[in-house]
């Protein structure tokens, strides 16, 4: 009986994995994690490199450069994982070249959500160090529902491009 339950569970997981929305969420979580690591790394580097110059650090963080740098560096990773895993498409240079078009609304949405949530947290008197750490997670998550449709439109174009159709 236990073996039968394990088999049913494995079948349910496999069935869920066949849904491109589930794969998109999984891949987006991975890409968000990579972006978070890069954002935290660049935040740390900015603080370390401009240790004595508070004006430069303030300027970098007001422009939200750690998030911006990680966003740009993450584009090839994001395209690759979205194409191959989420939407099961062939990897193409042409698609990589136009993939940043999906990043314009994604970047704008993330920045918008970042600043909206930052204002909300500031009104709640939550410390700024904690705010940035929370917002690097919260901003991309808020953009996900809209980005599913944008990325799907750019990445998944032709039926013959689908990796599932090729044996």
| Residue 86 CB neighbour total at 10 angstroms | 25
Mean pLDDT of 6-33: 90
Range of lowest pLDDT (81-85, 136-140, 141-145, 161-165): 161-165
Tell me what the pLDDT averaged over the chain comes to: 82
pLDDT for residue 162 is more than 70: no
Tokens at residue 50, please?
């401009």
Q: Which of 75, 69, 67, 72 lies closest to 131 in space, CA to CA? A: 67
Mean pLDDT of 151-156: 84
pLDDT of residue 167: 44
Phi first, then psi, for residue 162 (nearest 5°) are -75, 130
The pLDDT tens digits of the residues spanning 20-51 come to: 999 999 998 898 889 888 888 887 887 777 77
Q: Coil, strand, or helix at residue 95?
A: helix
Q: Coil, strand, or helix at residue 89?
A: strand
pLDDT of residue 38: 87
- Rounded to 10 deg, the angle between the 20-49 and 54-62 helix axes is 160
The pLDDT tens digits of the residues spanning 56-102 come to: 666 666 667 777 788 888 999 999 999 999 999 999 999 999 888 88
Q: Which residue has the higher pLDDT, 121 or 62?
A: 121
Confidence band of 164 (pLDDT split at 50, 70, 90): low
What does pTM read for this prediction?
0.70
List, as own/partner pairs, every contact residues 150-153 make where C-beta atoms lie below 8 angstroms and the sequence separation is at least 24, other chains included. 150/102, 150/105, 150/106, 151/24, 151/82, 151/86, 151/87, 151/102, 151/106, 152/20, 152/24, 152/87, 153/102
- Let me know: does 32 contact 147? Beta carbons within 8 Å: no
pLDDT of residue 88: 92
Instruction: Measure CA 33 to chain center.
Output: 7
Q: In the chain, pLDDT over 70 holds for what percent of residues?
A: 83
């Amino acid at each position: 009986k236990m073996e039968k339950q394990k088999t049913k569970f494995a079948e349910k997981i496999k069935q869920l994995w066949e849904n491109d929305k589930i794969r998109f969420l999984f891949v987006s979580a991975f890409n968000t994690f990579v972006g978070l690591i890069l954002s935290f790394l660049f935040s740390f580097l900015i603080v370390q490199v401009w240790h004595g110059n508070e004006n430069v650090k303030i300027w970098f963080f007001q422009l939200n450069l750690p998030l911006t740098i990680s966003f740009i560096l993450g584009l090839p990773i994001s395209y690759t994982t979205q194409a191959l895993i989420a939407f099961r498409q062939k990897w193409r240079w042409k698609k990589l070249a136009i993939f940043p078009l999906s990043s314009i609304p994604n970047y704008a949405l993330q920045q918008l959500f970042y600043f909206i949530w930052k204002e909300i947290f500031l009104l709640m008197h939550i410390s700024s160090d904690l705010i940035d750490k929370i917002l690097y997670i919260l901003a991309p998550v808020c953009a996900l529902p809209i980005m599913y449709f944008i990325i799907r439109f750019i990445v998944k174009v032709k039926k013959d491009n689908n990796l599932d159709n090729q044996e």
